[in-house]
Amino acid sequence: MHTVKDDLVKAVARGDIKAFNQLFEEFYAPLFYYTYNLVQDKEEAKDIVLTALYKGWERRAQFLQYQHIKSFLYLVVRNARLNFIKKEQHTANRIQDFLLTEELQTTDNDHLATEAEVLKKVFKAIDGLPQKCREVFRLTYLENKSVQEIASFL
């Protein structure tokens, strides 16, 4: 069944800008409503709809009936939504990875700071030991010498 809307689509296929503007006016609001309900982001919904309509204009020669272009536009919007979800999920994963890395680095930094404070106290205590005790401590714990090696050395 041939309709007035099919004539409009054929005019668009021939490159008629006024006909495309009519289709734009007809499709923009419903596509935006549909897209916004899918992505819950007004700016993203606008971008998706405008991109879909632009793609419709680029492929205008392929459409002979109103239903063809309508199906195409809703398919483009649906696919763009899936891409948006993938992008959002990827971004969320990157943020989660960053936060986890940041948490691990903070924990490592806290650990290193604590370790530095403990070592400072240990070395201060070692400095307070008598000369021979300091030497035995150094050979045992810093140079990993055995009791036999230390005895033969001293």
Q: Percentage of the chain with pLDDT > 70?
A: 83
CA–centroid distance for 108 within its chain: 25
| Element of type H or E holding 102 | helix 66-127
**Tokens standing for residue 60:** 């205008």
Please count the residues of the chain.
Answer: 154
Query: What per-residue string of b and e applies to 117-141 under the rule 16 or more CB within 10 Å gives b?
Result: eeeeeeeeeeeeeeeeeeebeebee
Do 99 and 91 meet the contact criterion of CB atoms below 8 Å apart? Answer: no
Which residue type does 33 have? Y
**Tokens standing for residue 117:** 């404070």
At 107-116, the pLDDT tens digits run 555 665 677 6
Helix 66-127 to helix 17-39 angle (10° resolution) is: 40
3-state SS class at 116 = helix
Question: Quick one: 36 exposed, middle or buried, by C-beta within 10 A (0-12, 13-18, 19+)?
Answer: middle
pLDDT number for residue 22: 92
Structure-model confidence comparison of residues 7 and 85, the more confident one: 7
Max Cα–Cα distance, the chain, nearest Å: 109
pLDDT band at 18 (very low <50, low <70, confident <90, very high): very high
Considering the entire predicted model, what is its pTM?
A: 0.55
| Element of type H or E holding 37 | helix 17-39
